[in-house]
C-alpha cells in the first residue's frame, strides 16, 4: 500500500531521555576536548569497559549516557569509548532475533540493526578526521542507538545455547546456504586459528559471494558490502582488542541469515493498520504508552470540488490532509501517495482517484481494502492519495 511513515527522532516521546542527556552534556564538551588536546588521556580498563557495555546493552539508557560523560570527564579517550561502543554494537547484531525480520507485522528487521554497527564505525572514523569538541556528541548518539535496539534481542536462553560454539564446517558454504548458527560457529573456529593472509582471503571470498547474487534487492546488497567492509576494517584496526572478533562474527551472522527482502506484505499490513484501525505501523523500538495513534484522531478530511473525466460533472471529493502540526503531535512524518491505482493521481481534483487496485487485496475479515478505504473516506468521494502497489494504471506524479 502507498501509505508511508517515517519516524522523526526529535519529536518522538521515547527519545526525550536522550535529548535531556545530550543537553546536560553540552556545557562540558569543550572541557572534555581540552583533555584530548593536552594529551592527558587514557584507555578504558577492562572493568570500566565491561560495565559500560553492559549498561548500553542491558541497563538503563540514562545511566549509560551518564557513564559516557563521566568517563570523558575522567580522561578516557574518545577512541577508547567508541571501541567499547563498537563491541556493544557487534553484540547487538549477535543477539538479534532473526524471527523479527521474517515477521511482516513488525517494521524493524536486519537492516535496522546493522545500522548500529555501521554508525559506530562512521563515528570511529569521524573522531580521527574532525578535531573539535562537537564530535564528542556522536559518542552519545552511538551509545543511544545501540541501547535503543534492545527490544530486537532474542531471548537470553537462545543466546546462551549458541555461546562459545565453534565448528570446522566450511564457513563460506554455510553463509551461502543461509545457516547462521553454523556460519557463526565456523567463523569463531576460523578466527581462532587463521593467519592475516587467510582472513584477507575470507573477506575476498565473502565479497565474491555477495557479488554472485547472494542478495536480490540493491538495498540489501549495499548493506552486505557496507557491513563486510566496516567489520574487516575494524577487525584489522583493533588487532588483539576483545572487540575484534565479535565485529566479524556479527557480520557473518547477518550475511548468513535468511532475510525477508520483499516487503509487500509488510506494506499492506501497515496501510491496513493505519487507514482502517487508526494505528501506526508496529515498531518494537518505538513503544510508548499514551502516544499511540489509536488514542489520537485521524488526520482531517478536506472536501474540495472535483471533476470526472467520464461524466464531465463536478462534485465533492474528500481528501486526506497531512498537516505538519498533526504529524508532530504523534511524532511522525507521515505522507501518502498514489502508486499504481486505477485512477491516476496526477490530477488531485479528479474524483476518479479512488483506491481501486486491479489485484484485490483484502483485510483480515475478507473485506476488499479498496471498499473499506472508500467507506472511511466518506460516501461522496474517493480517498485521494492512498494507493495500492500492484497491477493497474500508472501514476507518474504523486498528488501531494
In a domain, 374, yes or no: yes
The CA-atom distances, in angstroms, between 109 and each of 105, 209, 224, 365, 399 are 11, 22, 14, 27, 30
The CA-atom distances, in angstroms, between 343 and each of 133, 231, 322, 381 are 54, 48, 21, 13
Give yes or no: residues 250 and 338 share one domain: no
Give yes or no: residues 103 and 215 share one domain: yes
Helices (H), 195-344: 196-209, 218-238, 244-256, 264-277, 324-329
Pair type for strands 3-7 and 383-384: unpaired
Any idea which of 38-42, 46-50, 75-79, 101-105 has the lowest mean pLDDT?
38-42
Find where cell 505522507 sits: 335
The CA-atom distances, in angstroms, between 185 and each of 87, 91, 265, 266, 360 are 18, 15, 33, 32, 45
> Chain-wide mean pLDDT for the chain?
75
The span from the CA of 9 to the CA of 337, in Å, is 23
**CA dihedral over 221, 223, 224, 230, signed as positive or negative:** positive
284 compared with 9, residue with greater pLDDT:
284
Give the tens place of pLDDT for each residue, 93-148.
999 999 999 888 888 899 999 999 999 999 999 999 998 999 999 999 999 999 99
In a domain, 126, yes or no: yes
Backbone angles phi, psi at 189, to 5 degrees: -60, -45
pLDDT of res. 398: 33
pLDDT of res. 9: 61
374 compared with 116, residue with greater pLDDT:
116
Give yes or no: residues 246 and 305 share one domain: no
Mean pLDDT of 184-198: 92
The CA-atom distances, in angstroms, between 179 and each of 107, 108, 184, 207, 346 are 23, 21, 9, 18, 46
Give the tens place of pLDDT for each residue, 200-243.
999 999 999 999 989 888 999 999 999 999 999 999 999 888 88
pLDDT over 90 (residue 289): no
| Residue 368: pLDDT band with limits 50, 70, 90 | low
DSSP code per residue over 52-111: HHHHHHHS-HHHHHHHHHHHHHTTB-HHHHHHHHHHHHHHHHHHB-HHHHT-TT-S--HH
Nearest to 16, CA basis, from 54, 65, 51, 52: 65
Give yes or no: residues 211 and 70 share one domain: yes
61 compared with 1, residue with greater pLDDT:
61
pLDDT of res. 191: 92
Give yes or no: residues 20 and 124 share one domain: yes
Mean pLDDT of 146-160: 89
Give yes or no: residues 214 and 308 share one domain: no
pLDDT over 50 (residue 86): yes
Element (H, E) at 316: strand 314-320
Mean pLDDT of 175-198: 92
**Of the residues 206, 228, 256, the one at which a domain ends:** 256
pLDDT of res. 303: 45
The span from the CA of 343 to the CA of 124, in Å, is 50
Long-range contacts of 35-39 (CB under 8 A, 24+ apart): 35/72, 35/75, 36/77, 36/78
Query: pTM here?
Result: 0.69
Give yes or no: residues 125 and 250 share one domain: yes
Give the tens place of pLDDT for each residue, 159-181.
777 766 666 678 999 999 999 99
In a domain, 275, yes or no: no
**Is residue 136 a contact partner of residue 32, using CB atoms and an 8 Å limit?**
yes
Q: Is 336 left (phi over 0), alpha (psi -120 to 50) or beta?
A: beta
Give yes or no: residues 321 and 207 share one domain: no
Mean pLDDT of 248-259: 94
In a domain, 395, yes or no: no
Element (H, E) at 332: strand 332-336
pLDDT of res. 165: 67
| Residue 352: pLDDT band with limits 50, 70, 90 | very low
- Structural domain for 324, as ranges: 297-384
Give yes or no: residues 173 and 41 share one domain: yes
pLDDT of res. 337: 32
In a domain, 139, yes or no: yes
Q: What angle do CA 158, 161, 165 make, to 5 degrees?
A: 135
Q: Which residues of 85-95 are buried (b: 16+ CB within 10 A; e: fewer)?
A: bbbbbbbbbbb
Q: What angle do CA 100, 280, 291 make, to 5 degrees?
A: 110
Q: How many domains does the chain have?
A: 2
| Residue 17: pLDDT band with limits 50, 70, 90 | confident
In a domain, 3, yes or no: no
Element (H, E) at 303: strand 301-307
pLDDT over 90 (residue 198): yes
Give yes or no: residues 306 and 245 share one domain: no
3-state secondary structure of 207: helix
Give yes or no: residues 108 and 211 share one domain: yes
Mean pLDDT of 66-82: 95
The CA-atom distances, in angstroms, between 377 and each of 73, 287, 313 are 57, 28, 20
Pair type for strands 383-384 and 314-320: parallel
Give yes or no: residues 337 and 237 share one domain: no
186 compared with 399, residue with greater pLDDT:
186
In a domain, 276, yes or no: no
Cell of 33: 576536548
Give the tens place of pLDDT for each residue, 50-62.
999 999 999 999 9
Any idea which of 20-34, 262-276, 345-359 has the lowest mean pLDDT?
345-359
In a domain, 75, yes or no: yes
Q: Is 178 left (phi over 0), alpha (psi -120 to 50) or beta?
A: left
The span from the CA of 341 to the CA of 380, in Å, is 19
**Of the residues 256, 289, 314, the one at which a domain ends:** 256
Amino acid at each position: 500500500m502507498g501509505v508511508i511513515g517515517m519516524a522523526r527522532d526529535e519529536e518522538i516521546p521515547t527519545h526525550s531521555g536522550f535529548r535531556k542527556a545530550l543537553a546536560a552534556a553540552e556545557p562540558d564538551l569543550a572541557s572534555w576536548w581540552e583533555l584530548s588536546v593536552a594529551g592527558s588521556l587514557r584507555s578504558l580498563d577492562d572493568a570500566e569497559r565491561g560495565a559500560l557495555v553492559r549498561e548500553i546493552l542491558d541497563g538503563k539508557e540514562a545511566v549509560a549516557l551518564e557513564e559516557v560523560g563521566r568517563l570523558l570527564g575522567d580522561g578516557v579517550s574518545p577512541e577508547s569509548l567508541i571501541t567499547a561502543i563498537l563491541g556493544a554494537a557487534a553484540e547487538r547484531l549477535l543477539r538479534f532475533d532473526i524471527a523479527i525480520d521474517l515477521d511482516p507485522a513488525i517494521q524493524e528487521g536486519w537492516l535496522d540493526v546493522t545500522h548500529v554497527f555501521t554508525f559506530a564505525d562512521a563515528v570511529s572514523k569521524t573522531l580521527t578526521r574532525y578535531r573539535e569538541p562537537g564530535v564528542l556528541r556522536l559518542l552519545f548518539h552511538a551509545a543511544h542507538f545501540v541501547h535503543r535496539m534492545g527490544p530486537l534481542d532474542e531471548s537470553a536462553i537462545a543466546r546462551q545455547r549458541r555461546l562459545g560454539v565453534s565448528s570446522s564446517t566450511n564457513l563460506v558454504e554455510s553463509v551461502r546456504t543461509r545457516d547462521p548458527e553454523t556460519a557463526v560457529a565456523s567463523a569463531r573456529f576460523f578466527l581462532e586459528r587463521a593467519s592475516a593472509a587467510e582472513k584477507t582471503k575470507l573477506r575476498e571470498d565473502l565479497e565474491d559471494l555477495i557479488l554472485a547474487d547472494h542478495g536480490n534487492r540493491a538495498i540489501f546488497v549495499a548493506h552486505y558490502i557496507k557491513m563486510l567492509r566496516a567489520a574487516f576494517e575494524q577487525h584489522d584496526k583493533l588487532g588483539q582488542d576483545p572487540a575484534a572478533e565479535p565485529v566479524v562474527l556479527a557480520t557473518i551472522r547477518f550475511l548468513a541469515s535468511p532475510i525477508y527482502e520483499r516487503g509487500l506484505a509488510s506494506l499492506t499490513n501497515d496501510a491496513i493498520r493505519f487507514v482502517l484501525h487508526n494505528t501506526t505501523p508496529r515498531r518494537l523500538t518505538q513503544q510508548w504508552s499514551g502516544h499511540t495513534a489509536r488514542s489520537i484522531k485521524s488526520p482531517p478530511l478536506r472536501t474540495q470540488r472535483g471533476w470526472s473525466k467520464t461524466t464531465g460533472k463536478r462534485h465533492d471529493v474528500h481528501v486526506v490532509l497531512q498537516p505538519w502540526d498533526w504529524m508532530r503531535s504523534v511524532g511522525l512524518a507521515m505522507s501518502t501517495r498514489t502508486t499504481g491505482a486505477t485512477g491516476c493521481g496526477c490530477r488531485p481534483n479528479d474524483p476518479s482517484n479512488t483506491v481501486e487496485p486491479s489485484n484485490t487485496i483484502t483485510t483480515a475479515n475478507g473485506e476488499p481494502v479498496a471498499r473499506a478505504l472508500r467507506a472511511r473516506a466518506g460516501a461522496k468521494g474517493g480517498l485521494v492519495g492512498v494507493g495500492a502497489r500492484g497491477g493497474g494504471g500508472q501514476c507518474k506524479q504523486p498528488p501531494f
